[in-house]
Amino acid sequence: MILIGEAINGLQPGIRQAILSRDKEVIRNLARKQVNAGAAFLDVSTGTAWPKPAEIMVWLIATVQEAVEVPISVNSRRLDVIEAGLRVCRNPVMINAATGEKEKIPLYMDLALRHKADLICLTMDEQGIPPHAVGRISIAKRIMDFSEQYGFPRNRIYIDPVLLPLKFFQAQGPIVLEAILGIAREKDAPHVIVGISNASQGMKDRALVNRTFLAMAMACGLDAIICDVLDAELTATIAAAEVILERRPYSDQYARESKKASAGASS
């Protein structure tokens, strides 16, 4: 399982404050803690509403790279912000995220190829997010067809079937599980990823929903996750699921070795 730590996000009040006061130690500390907890990538997002988001992105990435060596997942909706981030990243790196829009896929693939970046692609297009699994699987196939044309390595594509908050869109649960199963069972399947924390927005017992969904999604073929890697019960669940899927040999320490094993799995 490839763990991507989500904590460095300008939407979080603590991070927003650190950006405003250019407090590097807050950022560096959170980078170190996430890597110690098993993150193979660190997602970096400025959040919204900065007058110069590209500058914030560059500062955040530079600061993270002062503390840790793991690759960065450069997270923005704006291509110029992603590009600014990529320029200061050490390789390898990840772009979070492209969509399945026909006009945009080539731009993102081109950018990812130039920067030797992995690429997260959301299963949404000009029409939005398809309301059924089959529509998301078909956007995933379109993305894979493009990757074929571009000579983009399949194992550097991460398809994200877009998990919306279950409290408001409860049908998303079975739809996304079905989409994961469908995509993961394609021939030469790409990685399949979701952002888990979004799913439980506004729910009670969020951590329970997150770790239960994660176990279910792993059974369907999910192999990467953007999550709160500091949630010890979540990483213990990942460890148990990997033992159950026979991706990690059983030892009596399995639930306490999540860090090392997860980091190893991504390398």
The residues in 192-211 that bind a copy of itself, with binding defined as CB under 8 A, are 203-205, 208-209
Q: For a copy of itself, which is the closer residue by CB, 9 or 262?
A: 262
Span interacting with a copy of itself, options 77-85, 137-145, 150-158, 162-170, rule CB under 8 A: 162-170
**Residue 189 beta carbon to a copy of itself: minimum distance, rounded to whole angstroms:** 16
Q: Is 212 in the site for a copy of itself (CB under 8 A)?
A: yes
Choice from 240, 261, 263, 265 touching a copy of itself (CB under 8 A)? 240
Q: For a copy of itself, which is the closer residue by CB, 33 or 167?
A: 167
Q: Is 48 in the site for a copy of itself (CB under 8 A)?
A: no
Rounded to whole angstroms, what are the CA distances from 211 to 135, 150, 219?
A: 26, 36, 13
Question: What whole-number distance in Å separates Cα of residue 252 and Cα of residue 189?
Answer: 32
**Residue 37 beta carbon to a copy of itself: minimum distance, rounded to whole angstroms:** 17
Question: What whole-number distance in Å separates Cα of residue 228 and Cα of residue 237?
Answer: 13
Question: For residue 49, which phi and psi values (nearest 5 degrees)?
Answer: 70, 25
Q: With contact defined as beta carbons under 8 Å apart, do 40 and 262 qualify?
A: yes
**Residue 66 beta carbon to a copy of itself: minimum distance, rounded to whole angstroms:** 36
Question: What whole-number distance in Å separates Cα of residue 159 and Cα of residue 121?
Answer: 5
Per-residue binding string, a copy of itself, 113-152, x by CB under 8 A, is ----------------------------------------
Residue with tokens 């979004």: 198
Q: With contact defined as beta carbons under 8 Å apart, do 176 and 162 qualify?
A: yes
**Residue 71 beta carbon to a copy of itself: minimum distance, rounded to whole angstroms:** 28
Nearest-Å Rg of the Cα atoms of the chain is: 18
Question: What whole-number distance in Å separates Cα of residue 100 and Cα of residue 140?
Answer: 8
Q: Is 69 in the site for a copy of itself (CB under 8 A)?
A: no
Q: With contact defined as beta carbons under 8 Å apart, do 11 and 47 qualify?
A: yes
Q: With contact defined as beta carbons under 8 Å apart, do 225 and 1 qualify?
A: yes
Span interacting with a copy of itself, options 24-32, 46-54, 91-99, 239-247, rule CB under 8 A: 239-247
**Residue 159 beta carbon to a copy of itself: minimum distance, rounded to whole angstroms:** 18
Choice from 217, 261, 263, 265 touching a copy of itself (CB under 8 A)? 217
Helix or strand (DSSP H, E) at 44: strand 41-45
Choice from 68, 109, 121, 177 touching a copy of itself (CB under 8 A)? 177
Amino acid at 257: E
Residue 53 structure tokens: 């988001």
Q: Is 236 in the site for a copy of itself (CB under 8 A)?
A: yes
Amino acid at 134: V
- Site of interaction with a copy of itself (CB under 8 A): 166-167, 170-171, 173-174, 177, 203-205, 208-209, 212-213, 215-220, 236-237, 240-241, 243-246, 249-250, 252-255
